[in-house]
């Protein structure tokens, strides 16, 4: 399998090091389960409000800022856009800034965390974290990452609008826009990539409450490729999302990945947060991590299906059990 994996994707190749990553994360992370309560679902029936056209419009706006690697002008404009858009839907945002060592030296990163104004300041529990990465990969040529980084960001913003229509729903979700998912070198390794999600997971130690469960989306805007979910997802999550996906009638299969994929859900999982991770089959996208990842690779209808599936999942997922 390793040989096939190596051909498909450097990030999957890095899965061979997952054991090492787990050990490293486990030694750095707090005993999260001490403060983690079971997740509470959002109310059912919100999915129909999710508009793929609105989500697409956000992707279009973000691509106008140009490439958005960490600490770039494009990233600064993206963060400002997210803050303004989220504020318009009643969400309060916090920049989670940090500096980390990269193969190119120290770099300043900034995650963006969002809670709805209706959420209590000191919640007894914070049921769901829903995240995706906002950065675009550094390539020699201009790289916009319309599908890789853009698609999930558009979905999260439209989810923010839908959730804000029901304070009891919005209070059960923390939205997290991760910086630095992409590696500075070709593939994600234990020391390169996932900078934002690793920092987010590490910083949970300083919080009084943290998410009970998580959903991470990435590269989800292309209807011409299969959608995969993580094989390490708890069984209740897997069976629920398969049911939710059936309602959306994806053109291509929605199925469990045959191998682990290293992405922003891994640091969360390593901190004891059970996660659903959904990602397009990027290894078969001939434009993946090339300048060809442009707006035409993202489909409003696909964004709508993924957004609606995710909202249904947040409403229906049963307890994950012990991580």
DSSP assignment string, 173-207:
EEEEEES--S-SSSS-BTTBS-HHHHHHHHHGGG-
Rounded least distance, CB 132 to Zn ion, Å: 11
Distance, in Å, from the CA atom of 217 to the CA atom of 235, rounded to the nearest integer, reads 18
Nearer to Zn ion, 30 or 283 (CB): 283
- Residue 185 CB, shortest distance to Zn ion, in Å, is 12
CB distance 170 to 116 below 8 Å = yes
- CA nearest to 220, candidates 272, 274, 153: 153
Q: Which is nearer to Zn ion, 148 or 192 (CB)?
A: 148
CA distance linking residue 262 with residue 63, whole number of Å: 25
Site for Zn ion in 112-171 (CB under 5 A): 148
Residue 115 belongs to what H/E stretch?
strand 105-116
Question: Cβ distance 248 to 187 under 8 Å?
Answer: no
CB of 149 to Zn ion, least distance (A): 7
Question: At its nearest, how many Å lie between Zn ion and the CB of residue 90?
Answer: 31
Chain position carrying tokens 């993946």: 288
CB closer to Zn ion, 148 vs 174: 148
By rule CB under 5 A, what count of residues binds Zn ion?
1
For Zn ion, the closer of residues 62 and 173 by Cβ is 62
How many whole angstroms from its chain centre is CA 268?
11
Residue of minimal Cβ distance to Zn ion: 148
Instruction: Tell me phi and psi for residue 267, to 5 degrees.
Output: -60, -35
The Cα–Cα gap between 207 and 29 comes to 12
The CA-atom distances, in angstroms, between 266 and each of 14, 79, 179, 274, 298 are 12, 24, 15, 10, 25
Please tell me the number of Cα atoms within 13 Å of 161 on its side-chain side.
20
- Give the shortest CB-11-to-Zn ion separation in angstroms: 8
Give the x-and-dash track for 61-100 against Zn ion (CB under 5 A). Answer: ----------------------------------------
Residues 175, 267: Cα–Cα separation, whole Å: 16
Q: Could you tell me which residues come within 8 angstroms of residue 246 by beta carbon, excluding any fewer than 6 positions away?
A: none
Q: Output 10 or 223, the one with its CB closest to Zn ion.
A: 10
Please report how close the Cβ of residue 111 comes to Zn ion at its closest, in angstroms: 17
In the window 163-222, what residues touch Zn ion (CB under 5 A)? none
User: In whole angstroms, how close is the CB of 57 to Zn ion at the nearest point?
Assistant: 22
C-alpha dist (Å) from residue 181 to 196, 222, 264: 6, 20, 7
At closest approach, how far in Å is the CB of 234 from Zn ion? 26
214 and 42 Cβ atoms separated by less than 8 Å: no
Nearer of residues 125 and 290 to Zn ion, judged by Cβ: 290
Q: Which lies closer to Zn ion via its Cβ, residue 42 or residue 262?
A: 262
Q: Select 62 or 320, whichever has its Cβ closest to Zn ion.
A: 62
Question: Considering beta carbons, is residue 83 or 148 the nearer one to Zn ion?
Answer: 148
| Shortest Cβ 135–Zn ion spacing (Å) | 9
Site string for Zn ion, 260-299 (x = CB under 5 A): ----------------------------------------
Q: Which residues make up the interface to Zn ion (CB under 5 A)? A: 148
């Amino acid at each position: 399998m390793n040989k096939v994996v190596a051909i498909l994707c450097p990030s999957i190749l890095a899965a061979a090091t997952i054991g090492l990553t787990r050990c490293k994360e486990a030694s750095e992370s707090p005993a999260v389960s001490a403060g983690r309560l079971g997740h509470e679902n959002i109310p059912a029936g919100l999915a129909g409000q999710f508009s793929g056209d609105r989500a697409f419009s956000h992707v279009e706006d973000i691509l106008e800022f140009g490439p958005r690697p960490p600490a770039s002008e494009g990233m600064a404009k993206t963060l400002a856009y997210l803050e303004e858009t989220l504020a318009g839907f009643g969400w309060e945002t916090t920049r989670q800034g940090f500096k980390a060592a990269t193969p190119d030296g120290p770099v300043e990163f900034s995650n963006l965390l969002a809670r709805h104004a209706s959420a209590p300041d000191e919640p007894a529990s914070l049921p769901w974290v829903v995240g995706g990465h906002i950065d675009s990969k550094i390539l020699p040529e201009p790289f916009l990452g319309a599908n890789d980084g853009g698609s999930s960001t558009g979905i999260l913003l439209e989810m923010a609008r839908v959730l804000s229509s029901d304070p009891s729903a919005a209070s059960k979700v923390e939205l997290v826009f991760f910086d630095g998912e992409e590696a500075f070198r070709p593939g994600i390794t234990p020391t390169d990539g996932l900078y934002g999600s690793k920092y987010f997971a590490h910083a949970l130690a300083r919080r009084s409450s943290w998410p009970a469960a998580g959903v991470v989306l990435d590269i989800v805007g292309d209807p011409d490729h299969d959608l995969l979910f993580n094989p390490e997802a708890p069984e209740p999550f897997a069976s629920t999302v398969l049911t939710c996906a059936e309602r959306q009638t994806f053109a291509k299969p929605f199925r469990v990945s045959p191998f682990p994929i290293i992405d922003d859900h891994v640091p969360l999982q390593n901190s004891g947060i059970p996660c659903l991770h959904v990602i397009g089959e990027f290894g078969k996208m001939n434009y993946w991590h090339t300048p060809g990842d442009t707006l035409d690779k993202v489909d409003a209808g696909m964004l709508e299906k993924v957004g609606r599936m995710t909202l249904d999942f947040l409403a229906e997922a049963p307890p994950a059990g012990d991580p």
